Copies of this chain bind each other. A is one copy, B any other.
Amino acid sequence: MQRIAFIGLGAMGRPMARNLLRAGFEVRGFDLNPAALADLEAAGGTAAGSVREACTGADAIVLMVVNAAQAEAVLFAEGALEAAPAGAIVCLTATCPPKQVEAIAARVAAAGRRFVDCPVSGGVAGATTGSLTVMAAAPAEVFAAALPVLEAIGSRTLHVGDRPGQGATVKTVNQLLCGVHIVVAAEALSLAERIGVDTARMLEILTGTSAGSWMLQDRGPRMLQAEPEVKSAVDIFVKDLGIVLEAGRETKAALPLTALAFQLFNATSGRGDGAADDSQVIRAFRALNGAM
């Protein structure tokens, strides 16, 4: 496990590729954005001219693309799979619906390559510091073979199951909880503002009670700021809760709270705040209720 093809050098992919280089891997990357390729070269990697070129001779292909459709295009239409040697491991780190991950995994296996379903959480901050949580599903021997790669990008590498799709499932359920927890924190704080209490003091109290959540503690303080630093954008949750809802549609499971949380992120994006910090979904409540 030495040569890595890295496809998708966006906000997450760029620092992940840098951490692979730091860990001693040889990284050949591809992205449509020339600035991303220049950044990779500056960090000691090699810019490839195409997906096929990046994947030729690679021991592993890391796919940090936007969605399942892009992963399919890269693997099957743009030649990644053909170019990689037999036995190469495809690591799909993007957030995708579980059923689509299963389908991709089956096609990869049919072509004689190996597959790890390994979405990550921790955002750009986690990608930069190499402290992502990696939720990996693959047969034990494939997981073991891919582990050095996964440990270079994450500080918490969990083997969540043997079957591809299970990583995506854990990530899907993770995002369901995260997204709804952010929106309910916004609903709670907007009610508190409306009734009129010291919301900063209240936050401090509630994070220590049975009302606490990781998101309340992390996003709550930024909800009380007018223009907080953007740690993760509203549009990330428009995308991720969209994936959660797709998993619900595919399995015909009702997700009423998720559907509602999605609407509020979506409307926030629609009012022009898609690039704002996701804590600013609280603006949906302020818009609904009038300035508070």
Taking CB atoms and an 8 Å cut-off, the chain A residues in 256-278 that contact chain B are: 256-258, 260-261, 264
A106 within 8 A of B: no
Query: How near does chain B come to A7, taking the closest CB pair, in angstroms?
Result: 26
Query: Given A187-B257, A211-B181, A201–B160 Cβ distance below 8 Å?
Result: yes
Which residue of B156, B176, B213 contacts A213 across the interface (Cβ within 8 Å)?
A: B213
Give per-residue flags for A247-260: 1 if the beta carbon is below 8 A from chain B beta carbons, else 0.
11001111111101
How does the 8 Å CB contact mask read for A150-186 relative to B, with 1 for contact and 0 for none?
0000001010110001100110111111101101110
The number of chain A residues touching the other chain, given as a range, is 35 or more
**A205–B260 touching, CB < 8 Å:** no
Q: Which of chain A's residues 73-99 have a Cβ closer than 8 Å to chain B?
A: 98
Q: Does A218 contact B (CB under 8 A)?
A: yes
Give A contacts to B, CB under 8 Å. Answer: 98, 121-122, 133, 135, 156, 158, 160-161, 165-166, 169-170, 172-178, 180-181, 183-185, 187-192, 194-198, 201-202, 205-206, 208-216, 218, 244, 247-248, 251-258, 260-261, 264, 285, 288-289
